[in-house]
Structure 1
Amino acid sequence: MIANNQQRKQVVIVAMSGNTLLNFAGPADVFTSANNCLGASGSEAGYDVLIASPTMDKRVSSSTGMEIVCQYCAMEIKTPIDTLIIAGNDFQMLRKPEYKDFYQWLSFLSENQTRRIGSVCGGAFSLAEAGLLNGKKATTHWQLSERLKKEYPLVDVDATAFYTSDGHIYTSGGVSSGIDLALALVEEDHGKDIAIQVARKLVFYLSRPGFQVQFGNLLPVYESSNIAEKLHNWFNENLHEPLDVASIADHLNMSPRNFTRVFHKQTGLPPAKFIEKLRVETARKYLEDTDMPLDCIAEKCGLGGLVSMRRTFLRHLMTTPSDYRRAFRTSLKVAGVGDILQSNLHYPN
């Protein structure tokens, strides 16, 4: 449902310390651009956008070293807040005493007071700390999703989405996903035509294709003592082979049963699932950095034929190999230096 678009709405974006500037600047630019588009159409509706700090000193330090002095502290705003967005979180400040008043203020906000409450990236941790995500579906940056699940088990975490909504609570993933969320909110308020105009103005998708999972690594980085790291080179040299448990255990002079037990304990994954993810990770690099035909990539990575590789990509990355290549192939290719870069790459035979 599109809200009454003749009434100006107050949008408060709380910039948390240690942030990437885009966490709050991106959504702010979306709402202010919407004002321009609405004004050009003869509408007096739009947004009054305020950037606020979570602390009374009104100072926010960014990850770039720049210090921002806000005109407002969030708790001092007495006029009705239509949309509140918590932008980012550096975690060092998450539970420090100076944030206590902010979380208390946040926890007391109701849907009657604030029509929409949202977050960008690590801002989901602020909402969770205030208890606003309990029993709610939410997302955050893909690198932080496991941490959010562990620290706030009452939150239903979706690590794949660019943004989510559950009742009046909205959350978005990594940095630029704040723009996705803000565009969705503009569309909710003023319709698709205005939202499209804003997206075009910012040279951005109205609805970005794909999912956050496409940006993350399927496998974590393991310590050198981990069995997966010890097998890393051998795996890469033999990805085109079946790599069943018996052959891997034989390579390590271990029994299949003992190898499976040790591998699962140290990596958190059964050997078959780990190897499938490794095959996809390796195929991603070929797709990003080379012009190698898809069937050759499938063969080199042990992913079977094209149909099998497509199914595996859809299962793990929610996209097809060809679509992934179009979205993530090296930008240097366009500049004409991709062939040089490719000639210096070394891949397992």
Structure 2
Amino acid sequence: MHRIGYILPEGFQVMALATQAVFELANLLVGQPFYAVETYALDGSARASTGLVLQAKPLSAHRSADTWLVAGTIKPMPSAPELIRLLSKIAVRARRIAGLCTGAFILAEAGLLDGRRATTHWYWAEVLQERYPHIQVEADRIYIADGPVWTSAGMTAEMDLALALVEKDLGADIARTVAHRLVMHQRRSGGQSQHSEMLKLAPKSDRIQQALEHARRNLAQPLSVEALAEAASLSPRQFSRVFTAETGQSPAKAVEGLRLEAARLMIEGSRHPLEVVARETGFRDRRHMREAFLRGFGMPPQAVRREARIAPPA
């Protein structure tokens, strides 16, 4: 049995608790209690940022755990010295330890991130780097596994980290099925950006959202203004005007952003030749994709692939 211990600091963010559903469903799928989940707080209870008070086991009375998950807080604050002392002690005996969202700050206080790669919520990444210069902070990552120490970006990225832990323990099929049971739109890899092109565009009307969904599902197609306008049930002229007003971008620029995001994910997460990536994501050819990468990321696709291979796999 794999024991998982959650550590809740005072003021913890309740989203961390949602990740327990990942391990619960994994148990149901394998047909036996593979995971045993227990929740701890320094004094036996902790108040969430929402005001919820949760009764837990005192951390001083902890049992050994294979994996420790440290919840984050809305705003990183110095931790209680006793929490850091106990965390440093129990981390040595664990198979792995993870900081969820700003839980990375707590791991950093305990010295567990020194000399390692780490991430956290994009809003606090720069602060983490300034406070702890011995950490290599990668601000635009969903989660990072550097040896036995894992860290994740904020909020929903914690679910992606939990699924990655399940994949590590039980395989990709179980992790995919858990994500499906949780009605997750997609499972994101650790190298994926914290920032989504779809979220950045943030259209206000269902029609423009419909056109963007059509584009995202059909990136390999030409995706002319006429085709997008048809998906939105608008005339091409009206579509272009409404699209630009709602997203702040032209349809062509928005489609290029979606293609860039999809191409980067394929390059980082697969061994497909760049010609195949270009074709699958709708670029005319490899050269066209390279030009778009230089505009969008300031580096060619080959450099993105090299960086992904240098980074230890999550």
Q: TM-score, normalised by structure 2?
A: 0.63
Distance in 2 (alpha carbons) for counterparts of 1:128 and 1:117? 12
Name the structure 2 match of 1:313. 296
How large is the Cα RMSD of the aligned pairs? Answer: 3.0
Matched, 1:182 2:162: yes
1:185-334 equivalent positions in 2, closer than 5 A: 185-204=165-184, 205-208=186-189, 210-214=192-196, 286=244, 289=247, 292-294=250-252, 311-315=294-298
User: Match for 2:6: what amino acid?
Assistant: I
1:1-349 equivalent positions in 2, closer than 5 A: 8-22=1-15, 24-39=16-31, 44-53=32-41, 55-56=42-43, 58-70=44-56, 72-77=57-62, 79-91=63-75, 93-95=77-79, 99-111=80-92, 113-204=93-184, 205-208=186-189, 210-214=192-196, 286=244, 289=247, 292-294=250-252, 311-315=294-298
Cα displacement (A) at 1:207: 2.9
Q: Are the equivalent residues in 2 in contact too, given 1:163–1:180 (CA < 8 A)?
A: yes
Identity of aligned residues (%): 31
Runs of 5+ unmatched residues, structure 1: 1-7, 219-284, 299-305, 319-349
Against the structure 1 CA distance between its residues 170 and 292, is the aligned structure 2 distance closer, same or farther, given a 3 Å change threshold?
Answer: same
Cα displacement (A) at 1:108: 2.2
Cα displacement (A) at 1:292: 3.8
User: Match for 1:150: what amino acid?
Assistant: E
SS in 2 for 1:49: strand
Distance in 1 (alpha carbons) for counterparts of 2:157 and 2:34? 22
Distance in 2 (alpha carbons) for counterparts of 1:196 and 1:51? 25
Deviation string, structure 1 residues 82-106 (Cα, Å, up to 9, x no partner)? 10010103456524xxx11110111
User: Match for 1:25: what amino acid?
Assistant: L
Rg comparison, structure with higher value = 1
Runs of 5+ unmatched residues, structure 2: 201-242, 257-287, 302-314
Deviation string, structure 1 residues 46-85 (Cα, Å, up to 9, x no partner)? 11111211x21x2222222222222x022311x3201001
